[in-house]
Structure 1
Amino acid sequence: MKLTERASGELVTLIASAGTLEGLEPITVAIGELCQFAGQVDAGGIDEAWAARIPVKIVAIERFLEVADQGSINRAARRLHLGQPQLSLQLANLEKFLGRRLFERQAQGSVLTEEGRRAYQIFMAISQAWNDLKSAADERYRRTARSLRIGSIIPTGSESWVARCLGQLVSEWNARRSNNAISLVSMTADDLREALKSGRIDVAILDSVFGLEDFRHRELLQTDMVAIAPPDSTETTVADLVAGHAICMPSPRTGLGHAAMAFSNERAPDRRLRSRDITAADSLPVIVDLVANHGYVSFLGRVSAMPIADKVRIVNLDEALPMSYHVAFNHRKAAADACAVIIAAAARITSETVAKTDGVRESAA
């Protein structure tokens, strides 16, 4: 769980850190008591430098508590699967560090001294607080390990093929009662690559596998690029559209954005002199709004443009520019299974879209 991040040259805490800080509070209080117990307090208060370099590990604290609970080093060593000399040495080092005698060795075992009982209370508070934090972290890990995390490029809307593919995946996945829960997130193409590389997601749906050569990937679907123009625009060629309108397109860091930028530059070289009205936006809803309501022109894959044909005018390029979408995934079997469902859903949705388009054309004829 990420607790901090660097912003504007400063380290800032995130919302998730609040719970961790609350869980650490009993430990910091106990460390203050430990400083007092060890005599590391002066007129200015607790010696923070001493507190910051305490060489006592959690495991040593838990072994001390086990000996105290068992009342015998031998019994505690057997329960901990340790050698008795090793455990005795650890206790001796702890006493040396604190400068206090913690156990009274007797014939029948080891009994806590008065100072040992005070140390027991301090160490018990630390151990309980740490185990609470650890159990919460263990539960988060179990949830993460069970969850199949899927990231996609941001859909154009609820009827887009991406959204429909993911909806189909969730429906089929849950019907199978899979042991892996589905977790969905939409990101920009750059974020998807980084999330897949860092392990934050297991599957990525994106328009290019550039930079993901180390991951398994499969082609999801093929389409061609089209221009989308304002509904009331009158230009009949893409060259005229590019020359006469401001442009907003996906970032050149994406496969689609790179192809669209190269295409628009080839069709209207003077656009290079008008870079102020070429905007990159890795948000398809924003792109669609700029085209539909503000007079911009953009480029999309045909399969992404078809669901928004009622909002924009789709203009074919004068020559076909093929493009494809992909799914990239890691080594998990569940990730490969999910990809198979997504690919099947995309094929079905694409064929339905083509059939519907052909039907409309026949009716118009």
Structure 2
Amino acid sequence: MFNLKPYLLLILFLFTNSTFAAINSDYQVELDLSADHSESNNVPMPFFANGKMQSKLNVTVSFSDGYGNPVSVNDEEVRNSLSFYIKSTNIELTKDQDCSYRRDCWGYTYSENDYVHQMGTSYQYAKSLPTSRLLSTPQNLITAWVYSTEVAQYRAVCARIQFDNNTTYDSCAHPYDENAIYQAVQPVVYTANDFAELGEGEKVWEEEDYDDFYFSYAEVRNFYITPIDPSLRLVKVSTDNWQESNHDNEFLNDQWLGCYSDCPEGFKSVKGFLFTPGQERTVTHEYVWNSAAGESRTAKWRVNQKLRSVTLSKLLYSTQNTSQNDTQSEYRFIAFDQYGNKAPLKLTYPESEFTDGGQRWDYTQWNLVSQ
């Protein structure tokens, strides 16, 4: 029997894709670019040149054939054919470029990140830049996100569309001169002076099931790295240079403070945790196992009660282990505000009073300082 199925599938494929024509050099193009605008001032909003804060770039484009009839092109084809460059320098914006370690870097992406895209009203910059018009009936509306590490008062971004014969339509070529205007301003780098004192911390858990034989008293204290400026909030944290951590980090695990019965309040061990900002939640951690008793103890406490802050937790407990860690004199990390501006910070520790036991640093006392 003759099998019609392959032919039916082919017909179905051609029918469903017939509305999406290839972008070829015979098509006429009408293209408009506009930066994200302030509704009140109708001018492009500035963004911080920190390589992380994104500013929206709206691309509206329509295609027509040689008779002026509209031609449908799917958005993915448009995105694949688009490129952008700085008008004054002809420097290309690299797609998905990592600008973290590059100066005067410009990039764009089609993936929106979760940093704030517009500055708050507390940031005032010059607002005298020209604006772009919008097409009234666009065929395609493409959203890109521009970011940079170059501080620049005036940058016009142009677009190119490459056709299938390798010719290009240039939005800034004569007689078009269609571009989007951006200003990238100096990013902020915070110091420890921009944050509240850590203080003695807040006790959020203590061990009640202890017998001073198998298990000793333990407690958890939370410390909050909180911006003094109430308009700022910390939204990410980096534990490895500029790479924001998406998970909590145990940064300290010293099982022997270098003292025995003369330890402060009897504590002999300490663990430190750095929690990524976000929702308030309860966390647990099994901090000690006693083989003689055949059981363990688990700490349970709340973190991220202060939503503008990064939460540090310190678990003080006792154990009979004799391992030690004499290499950790400070812990470095970077916190980021909602705009992607960084705060390079570190925790330092004073010299221990119990150096005869082999431990040089007293991790029970934390001080927040700048890197």
Q: Same fold (TM over 0.5)?
A: no
- For the pair shown, the structure with the greater C-alpha radius of gyration is 1
TM-score normalised per structure 2: 0.28
TM-score (ref. length: structure 1): 0.29
Q: Which is richer in strand?
A: 2
